[in-house]
Amino acid sequence: MQKTRRRLAAALCALVAGLGATAAIAQSYPSKPVKLVVPYPPGGPTDIVARVIAQRLQTQTGQPFVVENLPGAGGNTGAAAVARAAPDGYTLLVATTAHAINPSLFKNLSYQFGKDFAPITQLTSGPLVVVVNPALPARTVPELIALAKAKPGDLNFASSGNGQSTHLAGELFNATAGTRIRHVPYKGSAPALTDTMAGQTQLMFDTMLSAMPHVKGGKLRAIAVTSAQRSPAAPDLPTVAESLPGFEAIAWNGLLAPANTPREVLAKLSTELRTAMEQPEVRERFEAQGFAAAWTAPEAFAGFIHAEIDKWAKVVQVSGATIE
């Protein structure tokens, strides 16, 4: 009996000590620089979002938040590095829509997106915009669908790469509208837009940040946005869903930590990020890129991620897309 009591007492002491240590870690976090891994090259939309957030978090916490770009393999190189990092809150991943697509698209990922990360919060949410070459005789979504059905397989759409949201949004459009617009992948948004403007490809689903300057310059025509509601950045543009009910393809960014990061650290980060994204200057920087600030609690973000994984898995299956 005495041995049992001693064991229980020892276990209780260990539990209390562990809780105390965890609380102390959370209270002092962050006590050194925090790395935000952006799995894409510098200068893109995700990199810009990360740097806005990093600057604000540094101001709030007094500790450096450093952006590190680890591009490669459609965002998988950086994601794999964070999945292997110590679960202490000092190495975080700035994830995108592509990371919810990749589990269905890549056959041999070295990490599991739905299991190897602890969601912290969504950062941004924004539509893609459907842009066409001005010579294309389609000014609305119904006209584009009619043209594609009249010439099945003749039209093609450019994307910033296999598996990117700019690719799968087009495949979702095909599946929803019953069209056969062929996919032409590029290595980045810039060359894809260049060929669309030149008429080598007829249309593209791209971020507003990349595409709208060319629309304003008269080199492309915008016909719709891919969000469920119209975008405040272009309120006169209809949504695809106004012609194809239920269609929605948004580009998003979110922040994740390695799995098993202490809950108290995740909660601290979530609170700091909520404060950051309530700042007018942060919202204005996001809106300038066609994004809206989209803070969510960790549990809600986890549910959103799993819904996105399921949604895009169906699109990948219908499209037949795959990457070794």
- Output the six-digit token pair for 173: 């459009």
- Reported as a pLDDT band with limits 50, 70 and 90, residue 5 is low
Instruction: Please determine, for residue 61, whether its predicted confidence score (pLDDT) is greater than 70.
Output: yes
What is the pTM (predicted TM-score) of this model? 0.82
* Strands annotated E in 136-293: 156-159, 182-185, 203-207, 221-225, 250-258, 292-293
- Reported as a pLDDT band with limits 50, 70 and 90, residue 178 is very high
* In the chain, where the domains are located: 32-126+251-319, 127-242
Q: How far apart are CA 78 and CA 258, in angstroms?
A: 12
- Reported as a pLDDT band with limits 50, 70 and 90, residue 10 is low
Q: How far apart are CA 273 and CA 60, in angstroms?
A: 10
Contacts of 51 (CB under 8 A, 6+ apart): 67
Q: What pLDDT score does 196 carry?
A: 97
Q: What pLDDT score does 214 carry?
A: 94
Domain 127-242 in the same topology as domain 32-126+251-319: yes
- Reported as a pLDDT band with limits 50, 70 and 90, residue 21 is very low
- Output the six-digit token pair for 165: 């949201």
State pLDDT tens for residues 84-103. 999 999 999 999 999 999 99
State pLDDT tens for residues 220-251. 999 999 999 999 888 999 999 999 999 999 88
Q: Exposed, middle or buried by CB within 10 Å (0-12, 13-18, 19+), for 182?
A: middle
Average pLDDT for 123-137: 95
State pLDDT tens for residues 264-313. 999 999 999 999 999 999 998 888 777 888 899 999 999 999 999 999 99
Mean pLDDT of the chain: 90
* Backbone CA torsion sign across 238, 306, 112, 109: negative
- What is the fold of 127-242? D-Maltodextrin-Binding Protein; domain 2 (3.40.190)
Phi-psi region of 257 (alpha: psi -120 to 50; beta: other; left: phi over 0): beta
Residues paired with residue 81 on neighbouring β-strands, in sequence order: none
Which residue's entry shows tokens 């007492």? 9
Average pLDDT for 16-45: 77
State pLDDT tens for residues 154-165. 999 999 888 888
Q: How far is CA 187 from CA 49, 192, 248, in A?
A: 21, 8, 24
Structural element, H or E, at residue 319: helix 298-319
Q: How far apart are CA 271 and CA 75, in angstroms?
A: 27
CATH 3.40.190.150 fits 32-126+251-319, yes or no: yes
Q: What pLDDT score does 247 carry?
A: 94
Instruction: Please determine, for residue 14, whether its predicted confidence score (pLDDT) is greater than 80.
Output: no
Decide if 176 contacts 244 (C-beta within 8 A).
Answer: yes
* Strands annotated E in the chain: 34-38, 65-69, 91-96, 117-132, 156-159, 182-185, 203-207, 221-225, 250-258, 292-293
Instruction: Please determine, for residue 322, whether its predicted confidence score (pLDDT) is greater than 60.
Output: yes
> Who wins on pLDDT, 295 or 210?
295
